[in-house]
Structures are given as structure tokens and as C-alpha cells.
């Protein structure tokens, strides 16, 4: 099915000024300890690409230059194998550290199938993302690689680039900035366009001394209570009937939903593309659960991860390398009104109110983290459905010189069950919604989602 063309390791371009650097993990990083890595695959349509050495060399050279700026990705997560209060985890880089890069060729004629939006077998995507190399163990110290990349050629059709990154090292913001940076450097064979006029400013901000992190000790205590876990992401763990599909929230639909919410609640200040899209999708999922008569002995909680770089005191720059996400938990009674005819409008108001309440106050960070500790202790009592990605990440702007991506997929939702939100390839201002369900549930959700949009078009278009 796949042929290995080349396996290599790529280090930062010689001349990188940093010879060694360590980044202590903050509470925002420790949040993701023991959890699944970020796995993403991006597809590009290109009928002329082949396994020519010049193509491979160009990608390796541009990756090396990209690592000059994102050098910490070539480092390791360093932690103790067993709970040890004297060894706090950190990200450590030494000059010469490298990341594994694999070039593969597929002999399957399924590129169009993989880049479609209708339900497709989830298992078929996993060979396109690499597994992280095994960790090294020295006594009680574990050194775990942070990033692996796989390039897969589909002769006569296109190419896919798969990424697997440890979430302890970086959030989606950082990973997608790395991807867009690598794309730009490949396209222009230089990092000058990426730097722009600010040649004296770094592409990545690494200074952890400015991170105000009073809860670090609390989260460290939680991590220390459990032995190190690499975070398995083997596709053999997936149900055989699991499928992936992508649904489009077109700009016109989003505007109709926004106007509907604003008309019903004129004083609601938080009416955004994110809030109305999430409300519509969550109501559709809730209707699905009712239709299939799903019985769950645990309350289902919706959780969003909000980028809090601007909420920090002092604020962190957008190019901050690492994790800076706040979990926002929706209350248990959030689900109750969603079964009503006006479930969307109620859901949109609840989301807007909760975001305004929890993220606009001075103590937003400490309150959200305290709530996370509360639910973390009682994790077995609840079923969580998270939200991953963001349309603001602009993944479809990642042009390696082959044009915009044909499709992007967040593979890790097959394990987490999260709702994946992305910018839209063909409609500026639209949103792509990625989901992973058993086939019978996906078929039902597809009908619910389509009927919901038709209802919006009919009722709000006439309003």
C-alpha cells in the first residue's frame, strides 16, 4: 500500500544562535500531560509531483530553515519516569537535535476519496500521519520526541503532509504557525517574506519568565501523581465502523444565524462566527443523541479551549511558543433546553453569555483553571465533548508553492471525539466542521445537519 522513499532526520539550519535551551512547563502545558498528541494531515492537489530528489531536497532544506526559528520542536520533553517531586518536566533543546521526516509513496488511487467531505473510513487516514519515535530512557529520566512529519506522494494526484506533535509542547496555534511558516519558506526558498520588515523580531517568542503562572504548582502536583504515559494513538484502538466527515457552515448561513441571535437578544455582546457555529453543531449533536436513544450514565459536558494569550497579565504575544489555552466548561443544565424547537437560539445565548462571563473578567484565568481542577478530579463522573481547532488558524493559507490545500483533517479527533473547527477552503468567512462518529450515527447526523440548515434558510431568509 505504501512504499518508503526516504527516512531522515532534519536539524535546524547551521548558524542557529541557540546552542542549548530549556523551557519549563507552565500550568497551560501541564494541562495536556498524558493526553493524545495533535495529529493533522493536509492534502495538496498536484498532478506533476513525483519522488524526484529535487522535490525531497527542497522540503528538507526548507524544513531545516524553519527549525532555525522553531528549534524547540527538535528538542525533547524531559521528565521523570516515575513520580518525582524534584524533577519537574521541561522542554529541552541542544544544538544538533533533529526531527524525523519520512517520505512515502502510495500505490492507492484514493486521493479524491480522502479529500472529499462525505463520510470516509477513519482507519484509512492513519497511515498518513507518523507515530512519534519511542522515548529514550536514562535511569529515571525520560526524553520524549516532540514532533514527527510524514510526506506521502499520490502519483498523478497530489501530496499529503502529516504531523504528529506532543501537546505538552505546543497548542494548535503554535503548530499551525509552524506549518504556515514551513509552507512560506518552501514557496519562497527564503524566510525573508516570513519575517517581513521586522527582521529584528523573532518568529517565535520563547521567554517563559513573563508568564504569570500562580497555579503551576497545583497542576504539577496532578502530573506528579501519575507515572509518565507516552499517550498512545494506535489506529488499532479505533472502532471498525468509525467514519470521518466534514460539514460546511457557509458565510450566508452564519450571517443568518448571527442576525437571528442578535434579533432575539439585542443586548447579547458575544455573537460571533464561533458562537453561532458551535451552537448549531452542538444542538445537532444533541438531536442525534436523542434520535439514536443514546443512554449515558454520566452527564455530557461541552468544553471549549480558549486562547488566552491576550488575557494574560502581561499579555503574551501571538507568536508565544507553547500552550496558552483555557478550558471553559459548560454547565450540566446546558443540554436541557436544546431539545426544544428554539434549541439553537438558546444554545447561542448560553455560549455567548458563558464566554462573556468567564473570559472577560480579570480573574478569568484563575477561575477557569480552578474549574478544570474540579472536573479533573471528577473526570470519571462526566462525559466530555471538546472543541479543537479554530477558523482563525487559517490552515488553508499554508501554500508550499502548490496552491492552497485541497483539504485538511485533524486526525486526533478519532480518539478524542472532539468537534473540529477550521477555516473554509472555498468560502471566505465560512467554517468547516470535522466530526468522527460510527457510521450509523454519522448518517443520522448528516440528515439532521442538512435539515437544520434548510430550516434556517427558510425561516430566517423570510424573516
Domain boundary among 233, 262, 278: 233
371 and 259 in a single domain? The answer is yes
Lowest-confidence segment of 82-86, 114-118, 167-171 by average pLDDT: 82-86
Q: Assess whether 399 carries a catalytic annotation.
A: yes
Calpha distance 77→62 (Å, rounded)? 24
Q: What is the mean pLDDT of residues 5-24?
A: 91
Kindly give, in sequence order, each residue whose CB lies less than 8 Å from that of residue 197, ignoring residues fewer than 6 positions away: none
Quick check: 331 pLDDT over 90?
Answer: no
Q: Could you tell me if 178 and 73 are in contact, meaning their C-beta atoms sit under 8 angstroms apart?
A: yes
Q: pLDDT (tens digit, 9 = 90+) per residue, 208-256? A: 999 988 777 777 666 666 666 655 566 667 899 999 999 999 999 999 9
Overall number of domains in the chain: 2
Q: What is the CATH number of the domain that holds 14?
A: 3.30.559.10
187 and 246 in a single domain? The answer is no
**pLDDT: which is higher, 340 or 266:** 266
Residue with C-alpha cell 519522488?
A: 51
pLDDT of res. 317:
95
164-199 as b/e: b if 16+ CB within 10 A: bbbbbbbbbbbbbbbbbbbbbbbbeeebeebeeeee
6 and 133 in a single domain? The answer is yes
101 and 162 in a single domain? The answer is yes
pLDDT of res. 446:
98
pLDDT of res. 336:
61
Report the mean per-residue pLDDT for the chain.
88
112 and 207 in a single domain? The answer is yes
pLDDT of res. 223:
65
Q: Would you call 10 helix, strand, or coil by DSSP? A: strand
Point out the catalytic residue in the list 76, 126, 167, 270: 167
Point out the catalytic residue in the list 95, 241, 353, 399: 399
Calpha distance 105→51 (Å, rounded)? 8
CA 376 to chain centre: 21
Question: pLDDT class for 370, splitting at 50, 70, 90?
Answer: confident
Domain boundary among 233, 268, 287: 233
pLDDT of res. 187:
96
377 and 247 in a single domain? The answer is yes
75 and 221 in a single domain? The answer is yes
pLDDT of res. 179:
98
Quick check: 456 pLDDT over 90?
Answer: no
38 and 179 in a single domain? The answer is yes
φ/ψ of residue 283, rounded to 5 = -65, -40
Calpha distance 146→133 (Å, rounded)? 9
CA 273 to chain centre: 18
Q: Which domain holds residue 24?
A: 2-233
**pLDDT: which is higher, 326 or 78:** 78
Q: Could you tell me if 306 and 359 are in contact, meaning their C-beta atoms sit under 8 angstroms apart?
A: yes
Lowest-confidence segment of 82-96, 180-194, 322-336 by average pLDDT: 322-336
258 and 327 in a single domain? The answer is yes
Q: Assess whether 253 carries a catalytic annotation.
A: no
Residue with C-alpha cell 512547563?
A: 25
Domain boundary among 167, 198, 233: 233
pLDDT of res. 107:
94
196 and 249 in a single domain? The answer is no
208 and 290 in a single domain? The answer is no
Calpha distance 382→308 (Å, rounded)? 25
Quick check: 68 pLDDT over 70?
Answer: yes
315 and 339 in a single domain? The answer is yes
H/E stretch holding 138 reads: strand 136-138
Calpha distance 448→458 (Å, rounded)? 15
Amino acid at each position: 500500500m505504501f512504499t518508503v522513499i526516504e527516512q531522515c532526520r532534519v536539524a535546524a539550519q547551521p548558524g542557529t544562535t541557540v546552542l542549548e535551551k530549556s523551557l519549563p512547563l507552565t500550568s497551560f502545558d501541564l494541562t495536556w500531560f498524558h493526553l493524545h498528541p495533535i495529529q493533522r494531515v493536509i492534502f495538496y492537489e498536484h498532478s506533476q509531483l513525483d519522488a524526484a530528489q529535487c522535490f525531497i531536497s527542497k522540503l528538507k532544506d526548507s524544513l531545516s530553515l524553519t527549525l532555525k526559528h522553531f528549534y524547540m520542536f527538535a528538542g525533547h520533553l524531559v521528565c521523570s519516569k516515575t513520580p518525582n517531586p524534584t524533577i519537574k518536566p521541561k522542554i529541552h533543546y541542544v544544538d544538533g537535535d533533529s526531527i524525523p521526516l519520512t517520505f512515502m509513496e502510495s500505490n492507492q488511487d484514493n486521493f479524491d476519496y480522502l479529500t472529499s467531505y462525505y463520510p470516509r473510513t477513519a482507519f484509512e487516514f492513519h497511515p498518513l500521519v507518523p507515530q512519534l519515535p519511542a522515548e529514550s530512557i536514562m535511569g529515571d529520566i525520560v526524553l520524549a520526541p516532540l514532533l514527527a512529519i510524514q510526506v506521502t506522494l499520490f502519483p498523478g494526484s497530489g501530496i499529503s503532509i502529516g504531523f504528529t506533535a506532543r501537546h505538552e509542547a505546543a497548542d494548535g496555534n503554535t503548530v499551525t504557525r509552524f506549518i504556515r511558516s514551513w509552507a512560506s519558506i518552501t514557496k519562497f526558498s527564503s524566510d525573508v517574506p516570513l519575517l517581513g520588515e521586522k527582521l529584528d523580531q523573532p518568529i517565535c517568542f520563547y521567554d517563559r519568565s513573563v508568564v504569570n503562572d500562580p497555579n503551576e504548582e497545583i497542576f504539577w502536583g496532578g502530573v506528579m501523581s501519575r507515572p509518565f504515559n507516552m499517550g498512545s494513538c494506535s489506529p488499532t484502538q479505533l472502532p471498525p465502523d468509525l467514519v470521518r466527515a466534514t460539514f460546511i457552515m457557509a458565510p450566508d448561513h452564519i450571517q443568518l444565524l448571527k442576525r437571528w441571535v442578535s434579533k432575539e437578544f439585542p443586548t447579547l455582546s458575544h455573537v460571533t462566527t464561533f458562537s453561532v457555529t458551535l451552537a448549531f453543531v452542538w444542538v445537532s449533536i444533541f438531536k442525534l443523541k436523542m434520535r439514536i436513544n443514546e443512554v449515558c450514565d454520566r452527564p455530557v459536558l461541552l468544553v471549549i479551549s480558549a486562547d488566552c494569550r491576550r488575557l494574560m497579565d502581561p499579555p503574551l504575544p501571538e507568536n508565544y511558543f507553547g500552550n496558552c489555552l483555557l478550558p471553559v466548561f459548560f454547565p450540566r443544565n446546558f443540554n436541557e433546553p436544546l431539545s426544544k424547537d428554539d434549541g439553537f437560539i438558546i444554545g447561542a445565548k448560553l455560549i455567548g453569555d458563558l464566554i462573556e462571563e468567564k473570559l472577560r473578567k480579570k480573574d478569568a484565568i484563575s477561575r477557569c483553571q480552578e474549574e478544570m481542577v474540579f472536573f479533573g478530579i471528577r473526570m470519571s463522573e462526566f462525559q466530555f465533548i471538546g472543541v479543537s481547532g479554530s477558523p482563525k488558524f487559517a490552515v488553508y493559507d499554508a501554500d508550499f508553492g502548490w496552491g492552497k490545500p485541497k483539504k485538511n483533517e485533524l486526525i486526533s479527533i478519532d480518539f478524542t471525539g472532539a468537534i473540529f473547527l477550521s477555516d473554509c477552503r472555498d468560502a471566505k468567512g465560512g467554517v468547516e466542521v470535522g466530526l468522527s462518529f460510527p457510521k450509523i450515527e454519522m448518517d443520522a447526523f448528516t440528515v439532521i445537519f442538512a435539515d437544520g440548515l434548510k430550516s434556517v434558510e427558510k425561516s430566517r431568509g423570510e424573516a
